[in-house]
Structure 1
Amino acid sequence: MVLQNKEEELLAAWRALAGNLVTEGWRTIPIAYGGPRRLLAGRHFPGNEEALLVGFASVRLPPNEQLPQGQGFIVSRATLDEDGADRIWISLRRQSAGSLDLFTMMAEDVVSILERFSNADEERLFHLFLARIKAWQDFMRRGGDCVLGPEMEVGLFGELEILRDIISVGLPAPVAVEAWQGPLDGIQDFMLGAGAIEVKSTASPSGFPATVGSLDQLDDSLTRPIFLAGVRLAIAASGRTLPEQVGELRNLMREEFTALGILDSRLLHAGFLDAAAERYTRRFLRAGSKTFQLSDGFPRLTRANVAIEIRRARYEIDLDLISTVDVGIEHALRELGVIH
């Protein structure tokens, strides 16, 4: 039987390696992706846990206790027999309490990342590997389904629209994607220069409801200047799905390996999984956008204008009712000092 994808190859390899060894050690099988002898499917005994092993010719490893672990998996250095003695092996190993389905999805994703960046140097590849594992830690910590809910789907699509705008007006892709802090739970979505851009998106056919998550999010006494970018989306057959939006951005950055690596990590932090791409069926068209610079007259709640007894707030404003001038993204980036 011909195996159709990485998931099937990994599962088949793990089945072939299953056993009941009493002594501690590894059983491994080379897998086809990532170059010769770079990737192995394995099982660690006596626990019989599934693993993905990545071989590096020469990298500087942190101590084992500083490597990612938890959420159903552990990363550690693996000592193989003499057949693997020419490489430094790092194992991504499922813990006994971890979900096999989720671990398989994680391993498949890591294989895809290593395959995509197979031409990168060893140090870069190693750091990509660790960054991806840490992004998975964050993803697993959030729990829930592997698919974003409708509001989060709209929010992510809108943030990617603004990311595309930022690049199109002249900011280098690595700088732009590094500035995208929304998936990392930043107070604002993009931190640029001394200030920030916060993105609000809606697919509502009436009004422009925008939820503000905290008293700090639109407070330009903390970060200045702050711009609020609103992206209106329409659901239409001629639009793009979220995975298509992601694919177009990856294509835009296809020559920028650093930017691509950061983008993929941010997407996972945001809750987007390529393995779940077929479950996103809504198609969005950009129906309009506006960018406001926050000033004293802008309607918002901050710590300075609410009673001291109010410690936290989450509220909604309607951007369609705001009369502040739309300054556009290019002007915002000039004011932030990141383009000339």
Structure 2
Amino acid sequence: MKETSSSVYQFLARDRSAKGKFRVRDSGVECSQGVVFHAVDSMGRLTILVPLSTSEVGFVDWNSKALSLEFKSLEFHNELSPFLILQCTDDKLDSQFALLSDEVLDAIELEPTQALRATLSILDRWRRLFESDRPGILGSAQLAGLLAELSILERLVTSHGPKALVTWQGPNGNRHDFVLSECSIEVKATTNHNNMVVTIHGSKQLLAPENADLYVHAFQMEPSPEGTSVPEKIADLLALGVDRLDLLTKLDGAKYSDAHSKIYRSIRFSPMMDKAYRVGSTFPRITAETVYPPEVLEQLSNVSYSVDLGQLQSTPLDLALLHFQSVGGR
């Protein structure tokens, strides 16, 4: 099994190179012009070095908020050799850059005779994510909610494979967190030890989709140093084969920035209980179906209310039996 870029960079970062030099390690991937290297410079910046032929060298002077790309001749085996140098210039995004590095290496491994094109193609896909404005730091309650959503996603991916990521539609602006053929699922989390009271936002969040059921899947969690963090759950999903960029893009839509992952690793939760509830005719809710006249909801704003799920009968929901339509993806 190929070592991850993250672990290689951690090893290289233990010692600093001399100014103007790189500390390098063979990535285990070769292209037509030689070995591709992981590298860390004297300032600790994570780097990928892709060897090139002289004919491929061109003029590049490109920088974004967190990435630098340039052609440069480096001394290698006592002679100057041309390289494409892709570097992370913001250490807060080191873990994100490590995932980008993995993707670059995978692409070069598939097209070793087209290493430059493969690298630039991957960079073009990832560039927007590195340039996007970073959201603020999420609070404990927000992280608990995100961990709950990722836990449902992990179960779907385990049952249906990596393409189940397409069912996670909350970050895309859908009113429900997960959308499948037979139903939609709204995920809620509470860190209250004493009850399963969850907050509902708006008059449409518990409005069932047309010709499909709606479930609320609620998690009761407690903060615990032995628990699981959001970055760890993300790593679990990546290990299951979920596309790196697609997952990070979804997380960006959920206001999660990898730049804060070092902080988030220390915020952990242990599950106490999780149950699903079908939103049927007896489920307490405020929607156009339960308010008369329904038009009055259009005149209200910032509707928010709490539901005590502990007073309701849960409904078994086997995620392995659900279906969804895969769109795109790899």
Q: Is the structural similarity TM-score above 0.5?
A: yes
Gap runs ≥5 in structure 2: 1-8, 30-34, 53-61, 75-79, 112-116, 326-330
2:247 aligned with 1:263: yes
2:154 aligned with 1:164: yes
Cα pair 2:222 2:272 within 8 Å, conserved: yes
State the alpha-carbon separation in 2 of the partners of residues 284 and 234 from structure 1: 5
State the alpha-carbon separation in 1 of the partners of residues 14 and 269 from structure 2: 32
2:176 to 188, 204, 214: 188
Partner residue of 1:273? 258
Cα pair 1:218 1:294 within 8 Å, conserved: yes
Task: Give the letter aligned to residue 284 of structure 2.
Answer: P
Q: Deviation of residue 114 (structure 1)?
A: 1.4
2:274 to 286, 289, 299: 289
Residue 291 of structure 1 aligns to a residue in which SS? strand
2:317 aligned with 1:315: no
Q: Deviations over 1:51-88 (max 9, x none)?
A: 9677498xxxxxxxxxx997x3577x755579776x7x
Q: CA RMSD in A?
A: 4.5
Q: Deviation of residue 201 (structure 1)?
A: 1.0
2:98 aligned with 1:104: no
State the alpha-carbon separation in 1 of the partners of residues 71 and 63 from structure 2: 18
Cα pair 2:230 2:264 within 8 Å, conserved: no
Cα pair 2:22 2:39 within 8 Å, conserved: yes
2:217 aligned with 1:229: yes
State the alpha-carbon separation in 1 of the partners of residues 257 and 39 from structure 2: 26
The structure-2 alpha-carbon separation of the partners of 1:241 and 1:198, relative to structure 1 and needing over 3 Å to count, comes to same
Cα pair 1:110 1:132 within 8 Å, conserved: no
The structure-2 alpha-carbon separation of the partners of 1:90 and 1:156, relative to structure 1 and needing over 3 Å to count, comes to same
Residue 161 of structure 1 aligns to a residue in which SS? helix
2:192 to 195, 204, 228: 204
2:19 aligned with 1:16: yes
Give identity over the alignment, percent: 17
2:103 aligned with 1:119: no
Of 303-312 and 186-195, more deviation after overlay is shown by 303-312
Cα pair 2:232 2:265 within 8 Å, conserved: no
Q: How many residues align?
A: 285
TM-score, normalised on structure 1? 0.62
Q: Deviation of residue 285 (structure 1)?
A: 2.4
The structure-2 alpha-carbon separation of the partners of 1:248 and 1:93, relative to structure 1 and needing over 3 Å to count, comes to closer
2:303 aligned with 1:302: no
Describe how 1:68-147 pairs up with structure 2 within 5 A: 72=65, 78=70, 89=84, 103-106=90-93, 109-115=96-102, 118-120=105-107, 121=110, 129-138=123-132, 140-142=133-135, 144-145=136-137
2:145 aligned with 1:151: no
TM-score, normalised on structure 2? 0.64
Q: Deviation of residue 190 (structure 1)?
A: 1.8
Cα pair 1:230 1:319 within 8 Å, conserved: no
